[in-house]
Every structure is written in structure tokens, then in C-alpha cells.
């Protein structure tokens, strides 16, 4: 295919293109590829007969909404990736030449997008009193695993498929990439165009639940930690291994530069002696009494439960002063950990060392993170033995003193006893992932539901990406 550029006096007008003198440059060998991992993306490449800079404008046929790619570098070969396309649509596009002394534009070209594959979940918009321009980032736990971006109408605008189950953890990295894992002990940073920025092999460090970046581009993750104990007094064996949690920090080259281990700071034996096992265990005893036999390890005794999942770290955040805050679900506590010495600065929550009113206790919590200033935000799942409701807990910790900012409850029908998340969006609204109920909810800071979406899958968390171009 060979297409000639034409001079235009305005940058772009879909309906009123005026042909003038033919431009001396030509484009040739246009190639359009749909990557197999994302049918809502088109990779367009072509050559020009002389070095020039180009960009692409594109739109759904008969639509007035026009998008523009970034400009290519001055070269003979040009490559573009168009993302966030709509399925089963005819798109038209123009290739623009942008030499310093002239502008030129190609003939109108077109391509078609395919329908979404069957493994993409469907969404139902149940309430829509809030319009937003951002996108919501999700990940399905099913096989094949799939990562999704959806818009305010619940429409899938981007996805990437994995042939296997995806782990829970991922994290958005501004402006256009994310941290993820697809294989045991290996994680990646990948942009939304499908390019791998780097790949890091953690070798013997198994990362779970959380990956995030600090301001120095170091990658912080939760890891598993193990230690042997003589558990014969508690019905175990002389060399029993208990699994807990740790923290690992890698630089962008894959070097392990810092490590922390819970067993250096907490002894699991008192949890057996005092029978202070997890509230999760109480759930499991209730299930046993009802003769309910869900999959997993619900029917194991105290000692077995301790061995397999003592602390259950499920989130790590970076505080304003560049230390770490970790959520331990089985303790119903948050720990602030010094990022240099590894010392535990405070323990907030049930049986912690920070004074807190019992009304502010949180249970089985997830998704702790820094919001702005000295403000932290937590998804408090709740627990049937204490409070059958979930909420967002916004608070400050200054000099190890707790100060409540806001407590925003969800309706009881959205109670999410496991998983889930909450994030502040647009400074005055909250995005909840009610994982158990398969609902995404946006509320104001008083808890009024403004937007609600139902999905076919449970999502571990939901991230909001603001103003993605």
C-alpha cells in the first residue's frame, strides 16, 4: 500500500479535508497487527521515504470524538500502539506529517476491532449519579487470568490476558505502567501497551499480596518467612515450621537491597499459649459446627493453622516519612516499621500498643495506604463476631498517637468479610471493591452511594487511574 500526504491549513478536520499540492514525502508498507493478549489494541507501523515525525489521529466512524497518538521521533520507520479501543467498531484514522516548516495529512484509512472474548467478564451498571473520566483497574482470579481497565459505564476499554491464574497483587505505576507477576518468584513492570520495562527474578523469595514502588523507584513487596519451632507442647512436632511474613526491597536492576522478617520482632508461641489465634479460626470452628466443608484448610486445628498462616500480611504502604506500614490480617493490626533499622515503631489495633477507642478497632483489614500529608486510609472488612459491616477508616498517626478523621460505613448488604479495598478519588469520593459481593461502589465522604457496578467475578481490589491519556 502506498499513500500520499497532502498539505492542510488546519491540523485536523474529519469532515472538511482540503487537498492542495501533493507533499513530497510518501508513506509505504502500512502494517496493522492486533496483539493476541489484547484485542482492543492495534499496533500500526509504516515507513516514510524521508525522515520525518508523524502522529495518528483516529475515531470511531461517524463519531466526533477524536483521539491522537504521541508523535514519533524523526525517522524513516514509525510504530504506534493505539489502545483503549471499543470492540466491534470500524475506526478511521489519518497519519499526520509534522515537519517543522509544514503540515501534511494522509488519505482517510480504516481498521476494524474484534468482539471481546468470552473470558472477559460482563458488568452491569446499577447506579450512575457520578460521571468520572478516570479508569478502574481490576484483575480476575480465574483461568485464564485477565487484567482489565473499565470506564464509568462499566465498559472494558483495555485488557491483558494471562494463560494461567494471576496472583492477587499488582500496582499502578504512573503514568502508564503497572507492577505484576505471572510466574512464581518473578515479577515485571509492564506498560499498558504491552511492553515489558523490566523483569526481576526473586529466586527464593516468594512475594505475595503486594508490590509497590517508592519514590526512589525501588520495589517493595511482602514475602513469606519461615522459622522452626519445637511445638510438641502444643500438639506439634519437635521441628515444626511456622510460616509468617517478611518485607523485601529490590532496586530496578533486581538487586535485593533490604529485607525484614517478622520472626525477628514477634514470637508466635504466645499466640498458642494464650489461645489468641486468629478470628479466622473462630469462623472455621463455626463452619465445622454447622458441618460446612468449604475448600482449603477450614478443618485444621490451632497448631496447624498457626503453622500455615500465622500473621497473614496482606498489604504494605509507604508513609509520609518513608517508612513502611503493614497490615497483618490475622492480628487485626497495622504495624509501622522503620525502613532502615527494621524496628517496629508502633502496633495499631486489637492488642496493639497504641491507645485507640474500641469503636475504632478494625477487623480482617486490607489495602492500607498513604493518601496525602499524614493521612492514611484503610479498608476495614469487619468480622461477624464483632461487627457485620465494612467501612473505610481514614485516620492520622502523629508521634504514635491515633486520630480519627472519618469512618465511612457501607450498607450491611455490601459486607465484605475478606479481600476488598478502598481508595480516595478526586479528593472527595471513595472507590470501594466489595469483593465478596462482586460490587464496585463509589461513595461521597458521607457514605452516600453515587455509583455502583456489579461484576461476574470477585475482584481482590480495584484501583482508580485518573486522567489516563
Q: Give the 3-state DSSP-derived string for 323-347, with helices as H, strands as E and coil as C.
A: CEEEEEHHHCEEEEECCCCCCEEEE
pLDDT at 12: 37
Confidence of residue 379 (pLDDT cuts 50, 70, 90): very high
Range with the lowest mean pLDDT among 221-235, 303-317, 440-454? 303-317
- Tell me what the pLDDT averaged over the chain comes to: 85
C-alpha distances (whole Å) from 12 to each of 42, 59, 79, 314 are 21, 12, 20, 50
**Contact at 8 Å (CB) between 131 and 151?**
no
**End-to-end CA gap in the chain:** 30
Confidence of residue 170 (pLDDT cuts 50, 70, 90): confident
Percent of the residues in the chain that have a pLDDT greater than 70, as a whole number: 84
Range with the lowest mean pLDDT among 5-9, 30-34, 443-447, 457-461? 5-9
Confidence of residue 119 (pLDDT cuts 50, 70, 90): confident
- Give the DSSP letter of residue 364: S
Going from the N-terminus, what domains does the chain have, and what CATH number goes with each? 2-112 (2.60.40.10), 169-311 (no CATH)
Q: For the segment 83-101, what is each residue's pLDDT rounded down to a tens digit?
A: 999 999 999 999 998 765 5
Strand-pairing partners, residue 315, are: 327
Peptide bond into 63 cis (omega under 30): no
Q: What is the pTM assigned to this prediction?
A: 0.85
Amino acid at each position: 500500500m502506498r499513500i500520499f500526504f497532502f498539505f492542510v491549513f488546519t491540523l485536523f478536520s474529519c469532515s472538511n479535508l482540503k487537498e492542495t499540492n501533493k507533499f513530497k514525502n510518501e508513506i509505504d508498507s502500512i502494517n496493522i497487527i492486533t496483539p493476541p493478549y489484547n484485542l482492543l489494541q492495534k499496533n500500526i507501523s509504516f515507513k516514510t521515504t524521508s525522515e520525518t515525525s508523524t502522529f495518528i489521529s483516529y475515531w470511531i466512524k461517524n463519531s466526533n470524538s477524536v483521539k491522537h497518538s504521541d508523535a514519533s521521533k524523526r525517522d524513516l520507520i514509525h510504530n504506534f500502539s493505539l489502545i483503549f479501543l471499543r470492540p466491534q467498531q470500524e475506526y478511521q484514522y489519518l497519519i499526520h506529517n509534522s515537519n517543522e516548516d509544514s503540515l501534511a495529512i494522509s488519505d482517510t484509512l480504516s481498521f476494524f476491532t474484534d468482539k471481546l472474548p468470552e473470558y472477559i467478564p460482563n458488568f452491569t451498571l446499577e447506579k450512575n449519579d457520578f460521571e468520572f473520566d478516570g479508569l478502574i483497574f481490576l484483575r480476575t482470579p480465574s483461568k485464564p487470568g485477565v487484567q482489565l481497565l473499565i470506564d464509568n459505564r462499566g465498559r472494558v476499554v483495555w485488557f491483558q490476558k494471562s494463560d494461567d491464574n494471576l496472583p492477587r497483587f499488582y500496582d499502578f505505576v504512573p503514568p502508564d505502567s503497572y507492577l505484576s507477576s505471572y510466574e512464581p518468584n518473578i515479577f515485571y513492570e509492564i506498560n499498558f501497551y504491552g511492553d515489558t520495562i523490566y523483569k526481576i527474578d526473586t529466586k527464593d523469595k516468594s512475594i505475595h499480596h503486594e508490590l509497590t514502588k517508592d519514590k526512589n523507584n525501588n520495589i517493595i513487596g511482602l514475602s513469606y518467612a519461615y522459622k522452626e519451632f519445637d511445638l510438641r507442647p502444643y500438639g506439634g512436632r519437635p521441628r515444626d515450621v511456622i510460616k509468617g511474613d517478611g518485607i523485601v526491597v529490590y532496586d530496578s536492576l533486581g538487586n535485593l537491597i533490604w529485607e525484614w522478617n517478622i520472626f525477628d520482632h514477634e514470637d508466635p508461641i504466645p499466640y498458642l499459649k494464650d489461645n489468641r489465634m486468629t478470628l479466622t479460626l473462630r469462623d472455621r470452628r463455626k463452619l465445622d459446627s454447622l458441618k460446612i466443608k468449604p475448600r482449603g484448610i477450614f478443618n485444621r486445628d490451632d497448631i496447624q493453622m498457626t503453622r500455615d498462616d500465622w500473621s497473614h500480611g496482606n498489604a504494605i504502604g509507604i508513609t509520609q516519612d518513608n517508612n513502611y506500614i503493614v497490615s497483618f490480617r490475622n492480628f487485626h493490626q497495622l504495624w509501622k516499621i522503620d525502613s532502615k533499622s527494621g524496628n517496629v515503631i508502633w502496633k495499631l489495633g486489637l492488642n496493639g500498643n497504641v491507645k485507640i477507642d474500641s469503636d475504632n478497632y478494625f477487623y480482617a483489614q486490607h489495602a492500607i495506604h498513604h493518601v496525602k500529608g499524614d493521612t492514611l486510609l484503610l479498608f476495614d472488612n469487619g468480622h461477624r463476631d464483632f461487627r457485620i459491616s465494612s467501612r473505610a477508616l481514614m485516620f492520622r498517626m502523629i508521634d504514635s498517637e491515633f486520630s480519627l478523621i472519618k469512618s465511612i460505613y457501607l450498607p450491611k448488604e455490601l459486607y465484605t468479610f475478606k479481600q476488598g479495598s478502598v481508595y480516595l478519588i478526586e479528593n472527595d469520593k471513595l472507590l470501594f471493591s466489595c469483593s465478596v459481593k462482586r460490587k464496585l461502589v463509589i461513595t461521597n465522604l458521607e457514605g452516600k452511594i453515587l455509583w455502583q457496578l456489579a461484576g461476574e467475578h470477585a475482584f481482590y481490589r480495584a484501583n482508580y487511574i485518573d486522567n489516563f491519556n
